[in-house]
Amino acid sequence: MSFSYSFSHAICRRPGASATHGLRAVDTGTPDIDLFIQHHDDYVLALKSTGAHVTELAADETFPDGCFVEDAALCLPELAIVMRPGTSSRIGEAALMKPELEKHYQCVAEITRGHIEGGDILVTDREILIGSSDRTDQEGVENLREIVAPYGYMIRMVQTPPGVLHFKTDCSLLDEHTILSTRRLADSGCFEGYNVIHVADGEEACANAIRFNDLVIMPAGFPETRSVLTHAGFSIREVGNSEAARLDGGMSCLSLRFSPPAT
């Protein structure tokens, strides 16, 4: 299996009570923390069911969005890179993640210029796609490019659709060649050369899924897209996401997925 979806490890952080103050573009109501934790437990179980080792960090009430750990780092087979989130309430999450990454990686680099969040980064076998957004700017991308170029990684900068939080809010990697995407993103042409499966009309909120080993983990409640993916041969696991979605969070945001280098 490809390094871009085959993982031996994941790191998650439980949602805390302060998640009621998490950032959101539109207020659709305060997240129900008990239900959020129940969904999070189901998510961790889904990751573990593939045989992966999952570190569950305790909630840190200082950071209302801290359960969205993906934004704090990028994990590649050779090294991890601590990100530099593009919003003031989240910038400290990156430093909090560094010691966790150092438990698994000898090489942990850091973004020191500009801003970049993991939610804007899609790693495929052939390239690293990064969507510029309100949270990710050119300087952050150039800093990341300098860090990963010696390892042979190619970065291609694209555009996150206006009004969309992160690039991966609208797309997911399904396998080496296949991407699940909203039409509004795929129509930009950024996935030329890949097979694209469009989410069903009206089900745009399920574009943020994850391929994790043999499973595609997707938010519950999107039957048409689920059916398309099942017919395409993917093994689907649905997890409730109603509360994370109130904070513009989804399946990818809730974990850092990686295989530590052999020492």
- Is 107 exposed, middle or buried (CB count within 10 Å of its CB: 0-12, 13-18, 19+)? middle
Which whole-number Å values give the CA distances from 256 to 56, 101, 202, 260, in the listed order?
11, 10, 28, 12
Of 68 and 105, which has the nearer Cβ to ligand GLY? 68
Q: How far is the CB of 133 from ligand GLY (least distance, A)?
A: 10
User: What part of residues 115-144 is at the interface with ligand GLY (CB under 6 A)?
Assistant: none
User: What part of residues 29-68 is at the interface with ligand GLY (CB under 6 A)?
Assistant: 65, 68
Q: Give the binding-site size for ligand GLY (rule: CB under 6 A).
A: 10
Residue whose CB is nearest to ligand GLY in the complex, by number: 23
Cβ burial 195-217 (10 Å sphere, 16+ → b, else e): ebbbbeeebbbbbbbbbbbebbb
User: What part of residues 230-249 is at the interface with ligand GLY (CB under 6 A)?
Assistant: 247-249
Q: Count Cβ atoms below 10 Å from residue 193 Cβ, excluding itself.
A: 8
> Which residue in the list 115, 166, 171, 190 is annotated as catalytic?
166
- Torsion angle, CA of 228/229/230/234, rounded to 10 degrees? 160
Site string for ligand GLY, 146-185 (x = CB under 6 A): -------------------x--------------------
218, HSE (Cβ side, Cα atoms, 13 Å):
29
Has 104 been annotated as catalytic? no
Residue 23 within binding range of ligand GLY, rule CB under 6 A: yes
Residue 111 within binding range of ligand GLY, rule CB under 6 A: no
Residue 100 within binding range of ligand GLY, rule CB under 6 A: no
* Contact partners, residue 146, CB within 8 Å, separation at least 6: none
Residues of the shown chain interacting with ligand GLY in the complex, contacts defined by CB under 6 A: 22-24, 65, 68, 90, 165, 247-249
Active site residues: 166, 253
